[in-house]
Amino acid sequence: MKRIAPWICLVLALAGCSLRHASRAGSTTLQVALSLAPDKLDPTFAGTACGRTIFTAMCQKLYDLNSKDVVVPQLAAGLPRITDHGLTYTIEVRRGARFSDGTPLNAAAVKTSIDHYRNTTGSSRAAELLLVKSVTVTAPYEVQIRLKSPYPALATILADRSGMVLSPKRLAKLGVNFGQDPSCVAPFKVHSRPSANEIDLEKDPDYYDANDVKLQKIVYKVISDPNVALANLRSGATDVAEISPVVASTIHKHSVRVLSTVGLGDVHLTINTGNVHGSDAPKGTVRTPLGADPRVRRALALAIDRNQLVHIAFGGLYAANCSPIPRTSPYSTPAIRKCPPADPAKARALLKQAGAKTPYPVELKITTLALDQRVGQVLQPMLAKAGFKLTLRSEDQTTVVADQDAGNFQASISDWSGRLDPDTNFQQLVGPTNSGGFADKQVTRLMSDARQTTDVTARGRIYAKVMSRIDELVPSIVLAQIAETAVARTGVSGVHIFNDGLIRVDGASITG
Q: Which residues bind another protein (CB under 8 A)?
A: 14-15, 17-18, 21-22, 36-42, 45-48, 121-124, 126-128, 177, 179-180, 193-198, 221-225, 227-228, 231-232, 234-238, 279-280, 395-396, 398-399, 401-402, 405, 416-417, 428, 433
- Region of 278 (left: φ > 0; alpha: ψ -120 to 50; beta: rest) is left
Q: Could you tell me the smallest distance in angstroms from the CB atom of residue 497 to another protein?
A: 19
Q: Could you tell me the smallest distance in angstroms from the CB atom of residue 398 to another protein?
A: 3
Nearer to another protein, 123 or 167 (CB): 123
Nearer to another protein, 112 or 428 (CB): 428
Nearest to 113 by CA among 172, 33, 51: 172
Q: Could you tell me the smallest distance in angstroms from the CB atom of residue 363 to another protein?
A: 17
Nearer to another protein, 170 or 298 (CB): 170
B/e letters for 74-84, b = 16+ CB within 10 Å, e = fewer, are: bbbeeebebee
Q: Could you tell me the smallest distance in angstroms from the CB atom of residue 170 to another protein?
A: 14
Q: Could you tell me the smallest distance in angstroms from the CB atom of residue 84 to another protein?
A: 27
Nearer to another protein, 128 or 372 (CB): 128
Q: Is 30 helix (H, G, I), strand (E, B) or coil?
A: strand
Nearer to another protein, 383 or 483 (CB): 483
Nearer to another protein, 90 or 275 (CB): 275
Q: Could you tell me the smallest distance in angstroms from the CB atom of residue 296 to another protein?
A: 28
Rounded to the nearest angstrom, the gap between the alpha carbon of residue 8 and the centroid of all alpha carbons in its chain is 54
Helix (H), strand (E) at residue 385: helix 370-385
Nearer to another protein, 92 or 266 (CB): 266
Q: Could you tell me the smallest distance in angstroms from the CB atom of residue 9 to another protein?
A: 14
Q: What are the C-alpha distances in Å from 295 to residues 51, 302, 349, 351, 369?
A: 42, 10, 10, 7, 31
From the number of C-beta atoms within 10 Å of its C-beta (0-12, 13-18, 19+), residue 48 rates as middle
Asked if 497 and 503 count as a contact pair (C-beta separation under 8 A), the reply is: yes
Instruction: Write down the H helix ranges in 141-193.
Output: 154-157, 168-174
Nearer to another protein, 128 or 242 (CB): 128
- DSSP for 187-244, written as a single string: SEEEEEEEETTEEEEEE-TTSTTGGG---SEEEEEE---HHHHHHHHHHTS-SEEE--
Q: Could you tell me the smallest distance in angstroms from the CB atom of residue 342 to another protein?
A: 30
Parallel, antiparallel or unpaired: strands 63-65 and 71-73: antiparallel
Rounded-to-integer distance, Cα 329 and Cα 348, Å: 34
Nearer to another protein, 236 or 284 (CB): 236
- DSSP for 82-119, written as a single string: EETTTTEEEEEBPSS-B-TTSPBP-HHHHHHHHHHHHH
Asked if 31 and 238 count as a contact pair (C-beta separation under 8 A), the reply is: yes
